Amino acid sequence: MNAIEVRGGHYLATVAGTLLAQRLPVNDIDVLPPERVNGDYRKAVGLISFTRDFAHEVAGHECNLTLDWWEDSGWCLTRVDLDDTAEERWLGAGLVPAPDRVAAFVAGAQLDLATAGSGERPYYRQAPGDLGPLLERLGGYADAQHNQGFGADWSGRFVQMRTSVYEVRAIGVLTGGQDDPVIDVPMHASELAAVLDLLEYLQPHFPADSVSGLSIAGALRQDLLGRTPGEQASTVARRARDVAHTRRRQLDTGFGDSSESGDDHADEDAR
C-alpha cells in the first residue's frame, strides 16, 4: 500500500465509523490508490457504500448510492440509477473536513438529496501535484494512537468499528429496562431456520462475555431455539439479555473488547 491509500483509508474508516454511530447504514469502504492507466493519471478515490434500502430512502427509487472521496475535490454523494443515469452532490468543505461535517452532509441528503451540497464539483488541488500537504492532513487519522494499533490495516479497523457499533446497539436495546412485552411474529419455519443459521454464523464475530462464553448473537440463537410457539413461559430464560448486561459491565470497566464507534478527531478543512 502507498501512503495515500493507508492514510486515506484510515480517514475513510473514521468517517464511516461516525456515520455508523449516527445510525447511517454503511456497507463497506474501499480506497483506489492513484496510478497511471494507459498513460493517464487516475486520482485516488475512496468509496463508502450504503445499503440498498438506505439508497432507496434517499433517492426515492432503486439505485446505487455511494459517498466518494476524491484527492482533489473532497466528498461527493453519487447516485447511479438502474439505467446508468447519475447525479453528484458535492460537499464543498475542503479535502479533509471533520467526520462530523461529512455525516451532517449525508444526513442532509436524507431530507433532500437535490439540495444537499452543490452540483458543481470543486477543485482544491491539481493532480498529480505534490501530495505532501494532503498526506500531512490525513496523517492524524493514521497515527498509532488514533488507529488503535491497526497499522496499515484500515479495512480491519473499519470491520471492528462496525462490529462494535452494532453490539453496542444490541446491548442498549436488551438492557434498556423499558417495557418489553412478548409479541407474536408470524414466521415460516424456513425463515426461522434461516435466522438461526445467520446467528450461528455471526456468533464468533462478536466478543463473548466472561460468564457464559457466549456472544450476543450466540445467546440470541439459544433463546430462539428455546422458544415454544404459543407458550409465553418459554420466554422466561433470556440468555441474550444476561449476556448484554455482562458485556455492558465489561465495556464500562474497560475489560471488554471495544472499538471506536465514531470520531472525536477534528482536523482542519483542507482548502
Q: Which residues contact 62 (CB under 8 A, 6 or more apart)?
A: 52, 55, 56, 81, 82
Q: What is the mean pLDDT of residues 130-142?
A: 86
69 grid coordinates: 472521496
Residues 59-79 have pLDDT tens digits of: 999 999 999 999 889 999 999
What mean pLDDT is reported for the chain?
A: 86
Residues 149-204 have pLDDT tens digits of: 788 889 999 999 999 999 999 999 999 877 888 888 899 999 999 999 999 999 99
Domain locations in the chain as residue ranges: 3-151, 166-253
Contact 58, 36 (CB under 8 A): no
Q: What is the pTM of this model?
A: 0.83
Cis peptide bond N-terminal to 181, omega within 30: no
CA distances from 32 to 12, 14, 75, 214 (A): 12, 17, 15, 38
Contact 108, 92 (CB under 8 A): no
